[in-house]
Structure 1
Amino acid sequence: MSLARFDITADQIDQVVKVFYAAIRRHEVLGPVFGGHVEDWPSHEEKIAGFWKKAILYQPGYDGNPMQVHMAAGDVRPEHFTLWLALFDETLRRTLPADAAAAWSQLAHRIGRGLRMGVEDFRPQHSGPPSLR
């Protein structure tokens, strides 16, 4: 009996991650952000596939802290998550059966909302009245 959140294999997760990061590297906004932080794409993809395998298949292996990484990056902006999720959804739809794509998308959007809120909360708050220029 599988404990997976939905019907998907580790190989399908690997494929989605590979296709997604190929698209990220070509993206006009997200490509430079990721490119400024990722030095070894195959290792990064393996790490992120491990994250998803833990989140979806409950496989051990990933032990990072995505919130901390995104907050510490310095150039990750809240608006990047909308772009990230749109590109991720497109990858899911092109790569997986519809049911698995929809289920993974729902999970990704929930995680993305949390990460976006963390990045928004971490941004320096300016004191005083807002500038209306």
Structure 2
Amino acid sequence: MTAMPPRFDITAAQIERVVNKFYAAVRRDPVLAPVFAAHVPRDVWPAHEAKIASFWRNAILYERIYDGNPMQKHMAARNVQAEHFPHWLGLFDKTLMAELPPDTARAFSALAHRIARGLRMGVEDLRTPEHAPPTL
């Protein structure tokens, strides 16, 4: 069986570096730090970063090493709000541009934005009253 080629040119080490730099920035960010602190204790950050790196390695490199459900986690985290996603993406994009070649950063950003749209919709739907009209 032939392995699928990566979505774009990036290494596992680059993905891990992006994840580590991004979450270092998250821990300093006045908007996102409290959101993450409620779910990721200080001593759990290395394991969290490893899990998220495995998510991206699965999504980009097609390594079957990730075991999780991001939608379920984001919906269960009651303090995650739809308005956090643009801020998260801005910080993520800044990290990508600082750590990766421009073409790789753009490709990674496009994938992150696509995934974030789905997660944001899940969070918004969860917060919508049962009989409210749909948001289109």
Is TM > 0.5 for Structure 1 vs Structure 2?
yes
State the match for 1:28 in structure 2.
30
Note the C-alpha offset of 1:60.
Answer: 1.1
Q: CA deviation at 1:25?
A: 0.1
| Counterpart selection for 2:109 from 105, 109, 112 | 105
Q: Which amino acid aligns with 1:8?
A: I
Contact 2:4 2:62 (8 Å CA) reproduced: no
Amino acid at match of 2:97: R
Note if 1:5 corresponds to 2:7.
yes
Match of 1:47 in 2: 51
In structure 1, how many angstroms separate the alpha carbons of the residues matched to 2:4 and 2:20?
A: 24
Q: Partner amino acid for 2:30? A: E
Note the 1:114-129 alignment, pairs <5 A: 114-125=118-129
Deviations, residues 5-57 of structure 1 (Å, cap 9, x unaligned): 00000000000000000000000010010011002000000000000000000
Distance 2:107 2:128 in 1: 35
Q: From 64, 67, 75, give the equivalent of 1:71.
A: 75
Which residues of structure 1 form unaligned runs of 5+? 129-133
CA distance, structure 2, for counterparts of residue 5 and residue 52 of structure 1? 11
Question: Percent of aligned pairs with the same residue?
Answer: 62
Structure 1 runs, 4 residues or longer, greater than 3 Å off: none
Cα deviation for residue 110 of structure 1 reads: 0.2
Letter in 1 for 2:108: W
Tell me, in whole angstroms, the C-alpha distance in 2 between the residues paired with 1:67 and 1:81: 13
Paired residue total: 128
AA aligned to 1:77 is Q
Q: What TM-score do you get using the length of structure 1 for normalisation?
A: 0.92
